[in-house]
Amino acid sequence: MLNGLRHIRAGEVELCLRDRGAGRAVVLLHGTTANLGVWDAVVDRLGDGVRTVAVDQRGHGRSSKPASGYGGAEYCGDVTALIEALGCGPVILAGHSLGARNSVVVGAQRPDLVAGVVAVDYTPFVEPEVLDELETRVRGGDRTFASAGEIEEYLRARYPLMPADAVRRRVAYGYVREGEAHRPLADPGAMVGTVEGLRTDFDGAARDIGVPVTLVRGEHSGIVSERAFAATAGLRPDFRAVTVPGADHYVPEEAPDIVSDEIVRMLEQVG
């Protein structure tokens, strides 16, 4: 699973990524506590006729973990620096959760580097109590495990709709053995700082963005309420809004076919 990973300097951090295929680039940004492996099933469906750049964002996976700098400005600065370093723009940005926020903001700030955005299960107007609960879960995830099997059991309980192969990828990509214990690669302090940064709304960026945007929400999402999704879709009549039946928040892993179809649709739209 970990074959093909490499690091690249993007501004002040080194980011771990997997760069595959050819053609217009699609940069794939994961959510809070996750890593580039959450996109594997989507990448497989897109195939080698699309250039996919799946990235561990700062504080996550095998990328740099600075002591601070987990607000929107730092995350979005990394994405901009990465596209410039790879020389692959204008790209499609496809982001899940935290990655969706970053995709919309970078798309609004740098239309010269971004041709379109697919924002999966994160929007403006997420309620404060939702982020309070997310912070509690993030803090609870900072723990060690005796074995990979124990991690799988924990993740199956935490993500009940996630397919078994996606759970196994989370174990392989997201944890490291230290002595007799396994612990998450996502830095605990960075995760708390990330959730704090998500409390700053980005409705202005969503309203002002000048490139095509597709919004995707899982029908049973515990992060994006129907109210928040409708309010965001209402910001702009040209937004495409897609609800994925039977999925909760983790749409790229639970419904990779739908997410890959929306990315292909965006690629065709922007030519």
Predicted local confidence at residue 262, as pLDDT: 98
Give the mean pLDDT of 23-51: 97
Q: What is the pLDDT of residue 135?
A: 95
Active site residue 249: yes
Which of 121, 187, 221, 248 is labelled catalytic? 121
- Whether residue 168 is contained in a domain is answered as no
Tell me the per-residue pLDDT of 246-261, one tens digit each, with 9 for 90 and over. 999 999 999 999 999 9
Q: Is 140 inside any structural domain?
A: no
Of 63, 64, 97, 221, catalytic: 97
Residue 138 in domain: no
Task: State the residue range of the domain holding 84.
Answer: 5-126+200-270
Residue 103 belongs to a domain: yes
Predicted confidence band of residue 141 (pLDDT cuts 50, 70, 90)? confident
* pLDDT (average), residues 51-76: 98
CATH code at position 208 = 3.40.50.1820
Residues 84-97 have pLDDT tens digits of 999 999 999 999 99
pLDDT given at position 70: 98
Output the pLDDT for position 168. Answer: 97
Q: pTM for this one? A: 0.97
Q: Please give the average per-residue pLDDT across 152-173, as a whole number.
A: 96
Share of the chain above pLDDT 90, in %: 96
Distances (CA, A) of 266 to 1, 122, 154, 270: 27, 18, 35, 6
pLDDT at 222 over 90: yes
**88 falls within a domain:** yes
Whether pLDDT at 2 is above 90: no
Domain-located, residue 109: yes
Domain count, the chain: 1
Please pick, among 30, 60, 96, 249, the residue that the annotation labels catalytic.
249
Mean of pLDDT values over 221-231: 98
> Does pLDDT of 188 surpass 90?
yes
Averaged confidence pLDDT in the chain? 97
142 confidence band (pLDDT: 50, 70, 90)? confident
How would DSSP label each residue in the chain?
A: --TTEEEEEETTEEEEEEEE--SSEEEEE--TT--GGGGHHHHHHH-TTSEEEEEPPTTSTTS---SS--SHHHHHHHHHHHHHHHT--SEEEEEETHHHHHHHHHHHH-TTTEEEEEEES--TT--HHHHHHHHHHHHHT---BSSHHHHHHHHHHH-TTS-HHHHHHHHHHHEEEETTEEEESS-HHHHHHHHHHHTS--HHHHHH--S-EEEEEETT-SSS-HHHHHHHHTT-TT-EEEEETT--S-HHHH-HHHHHHHHHHHHHHH-
Residue 186 placed within a domain: no
pLDDT at 266 over 90: yes
